[in-house]
């Protein structure tokens, strides 16, 4: 690490570097620290620029020990090489990089088959930078379809669009409603129900409802929302009122789990009311960030006026996205992973991950200090809280203590109407092996005696973690 010595502001302090970092002369090298918040006056050797950045990044947490994130933290060397070879290709330049564009089209078709689209070969879909952008696109399509149906009275004051969802949705849906001026109608949690209730969602719908969002894998506890029951409740609503409310399935995580591990679960385009689905390729799609996917059941579900056709760099190019330029590397990595694993490979990887989650949940429960809310048997994710008789510490103390061992375990408070419930959540991903789970449990067991000796929980301001979304 660079060593700053002497007086003066941080940007003015002399710096001593390891002489072996020198490009040519180990005696004559940098003696002045570069500024951190403005461009330096001149260039520096690449080895020193690299080392300065590399050393500072050592203070980041180890991504493999991050049990908070759903995002992939491991890929094969071959995938790394492909991504390196494609990082300079602009995904939007489809005429210049036609094979990259073709791989994107194939990925859309593969997902359409996986999610049982009516006509997979002509599926409508696109890659995105992640599920958040995919959700924005799906929400835009829902709003535009609603506006079409209500052209005679929108945008009058009595026709403000609304979107119905559970209070457990990922924060991107709150952003969508804010950015696109849509009223968010949220079904609260109640008792031991930690996600949307189908009938309660249907009861919130009216003639201004653009759609209902169902979550296949809640980030709060890893549970699937009952998509088929939601569609049935909306079918009943249509029979009674004539309101035809479409459903978008946010399958950011579950869209790449359920098809392989829960094939009999009906949640996808087999349900006629499901208009669109998104997933994160960089979550259980097993690709590094950032790539997501948005698919619509047919062309009617995606209004044509939202698709722009641009004469750019050599040809007519249809595009439907919130951004423009982005690297093609992640799309190529997604296609590689689809080819590499196939149906059986994905099933094996996801089953292994679920097995690790279920076994670790069982062993944490056996410690006696914790109660499980979920067990990792839907998403390979589970949430747990302290047992009622534990008074010396709380979940925030556990999170803090595990961070000292290098593990990142989020602790947070549930939303309305369960603000009284504070939990820890563990996300198991490909690369979080049985061996790593053993090490985690050893560290948790090692932390418990000290936690039990506390006079009271050390964390007082629990509201700091109450808005956790990931």
What are 108-132's pLDDT values in tens digits? 999 999 999 999 987 799 999 999 9
403-411: long-range pairs with CB below 8 Å, 24+: 405/443, 405/446, 405/447, 406/61, 406/62, 406/65, 407/65, 407/67, 407/440, 407/443, 408/61, 408/65, 408/66, 408/67, 408/68, 408/69, 409/67, 409/68, 410/67, 410/68, 410/465, 410/468, 410/470, 411/465
Report the run of H or E that residue 450 belongs to, with start and end: helix 434-452
Q: Categorize the per-residue pLDDT at 3 as very low, low, confident or very high, splitting at 50, 70 and 90.
A: very low
- The residue-averaged pLDDT of 413-427 equals 95
Compute the distance between CA of residue 26 and CA of residue 24 in angstroms, rounded to an integer: 6
Q: Is 96's pLDDT higher than 50?
A: yes
**Residues 298-354: tens digit of each pLDDT:** 999 999 889 877 665 555 556 788 888 888 899 999 999 999 999 999 999 999 999
Whether 424 and 434 have beta carbons less than 8 Å apart is answered as: no
Q: Categorize the per-residue pLDDT at 247 as very low, low, confident or very high, splitting at 50, 70 and 90.
A: very high
Is the pTM above the cut of 0.85? Answer: yes
Q: Categorize the per-residue pLDDT at 103 as very low, low, confident or very high, splitting at 50, 70 and 90.
A: very high
> What was the pLDDT predicted at 34?
82
**C-alpha closest to that of 378 among 203, 224, 181, 202:** 224
**Could you count the other beta carbons within 10 Å of the beta carbon of residue 134?**
32
> What was the pLDDT predicted at 198?
98
- The residue-averaged pLDDT of 411-418 equals 94
| Coil, helix or strand at residue 112 | helix
> What was the pLDDT predicted at 344?
98
- Percent above pLDDT 90 for the chain: 72
- Supply the angle between the helices 434-452 and 395-404 in degrees, to the nearest 10: 120
Report the run of H or E that residue 396 belongs to, with start and end: helix 395-404
Q: Is 237's pLDDT higher than 90?
A: yes
> What was the pLDDT predicted at 90?
81
CA 168 to chain centre: 14
Q: Categorize the per-residue pLDDT at 50 as very low, low, confident or very high, splitting at 50, 70 and 90.
A: confident
**Could you count the other beta carbons within 10 Å of the beta carbon of residue 358?**
16
Q: Categorize the per-residue pLDDT at 6 as very low, low, confident or very high, splitting at 50, 70 and 90.
A: very low
Report angle CA 247, 251, 253 to the nearest 5 degrees.
Answer: 165
Could you tell me the domains of the chain?
3-57 (no CATH), 77-337 (3.40.640.10), 354-465 (3.90.1150.160)
Q: Is 62 exposed, middle or buried (0-12, 13-18, 19+ CB in 10 A)?
A: exposed
Tokens of 415: 């939303």
Compute the distance between CA of residue 402 and CA of residue 440 in angstroms, rounded to an integer: 9
């Amino acid at each position: 690490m660079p060593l700053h010595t002497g007086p003066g502001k941080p940007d003015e302090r002399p710096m001593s570097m390891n002489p072996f970092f020198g490009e040519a002369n180990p005696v004559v090298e940098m003696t002045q620290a570069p500024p951190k918040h403005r461009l330096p006056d001149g260039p520096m050797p690449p080895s020193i620029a690299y080392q300065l950045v590399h050393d500072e990044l050592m203070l980041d947490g180890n991504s493999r020990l991050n049990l908070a994130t759903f995002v992939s933290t491991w890929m094969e060397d071959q995938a790394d090489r492909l991504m390196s070879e494609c990082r300079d290709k602009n995904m939007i330049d489809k005429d210049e990089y036609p094979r990259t564009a073709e791989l994107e089209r194939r990925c859309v078709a593969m997902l359409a088959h996986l999610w049982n689209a009516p006509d997979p070969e002509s599926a409508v879909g696109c890659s995105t930078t992640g599920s958040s952008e995919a959700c924005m696109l799906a929400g835009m399509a829902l709003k535009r379809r609603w506006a079409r149906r209500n052209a005679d009275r929108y945008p009058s004051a009595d026709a403000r669009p609304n979107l119905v969802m559970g209070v457990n949705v990922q924060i991107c849906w709150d952003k969508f409603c804010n950015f696109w001026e849509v009223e968010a109608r949220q079904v609260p949690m109640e008792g031991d129900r930690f996600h949307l209730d189908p009938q309660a969602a249907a009861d919130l719908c009216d003639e201004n409802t653009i759609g209902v969002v169902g979550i296949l894998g809640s980030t709060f506890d890893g549970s699937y929302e009952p998509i088929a029951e939601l569609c049935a409740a909306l079918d009943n609503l249509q029979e009674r009122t004539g309101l035809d409310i479409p459903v978008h399935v946010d399958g950011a995580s579950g869209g790449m789990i359920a098809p392989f591990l829960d094939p009999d679960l009906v949640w996808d385009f087999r349900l006629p009311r499901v208009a669109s689905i998104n997933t994160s390729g960089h979550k259980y799609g097993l690709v590094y960030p950032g790539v997501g996917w948005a698919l619509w059941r047919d062309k009617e579900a995606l209004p044509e006026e939202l698709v722009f056709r641009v004469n750019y760099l050599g040809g007519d190019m249809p595009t439907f996205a919130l951004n423009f330029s982005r690297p093609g590397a992640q799309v190529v990595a997604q296609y590689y992973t689809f080819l590499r694993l196939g149906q059986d490979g994905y099933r094996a990887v996801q089953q292994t991950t679920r097995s690790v989650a279920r076994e670790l949940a069982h062993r944490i429960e056996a410690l006696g200090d914790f109660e499980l809310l979920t067990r990792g048997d839907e998403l390979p994710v589970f949430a747990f809280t302290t047992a009622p008789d534990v008074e010396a510490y709380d979940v925030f103390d556990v999170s803090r203590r595990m961070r000292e061992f290098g593990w990142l375990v989020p602790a947070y408070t549930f939303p309305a109407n369960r603000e009284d419930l504070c939990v820890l959540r563990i996300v198991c991903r490909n690369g979080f092996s049985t061996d790593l789970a053993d090490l985690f449990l050893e560290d948790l067991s090692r932390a418990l005696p000290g936690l039990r000796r506390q006079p009271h929980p050390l964390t007082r301001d629990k509201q700091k973690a109450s808005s956790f979304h990931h």
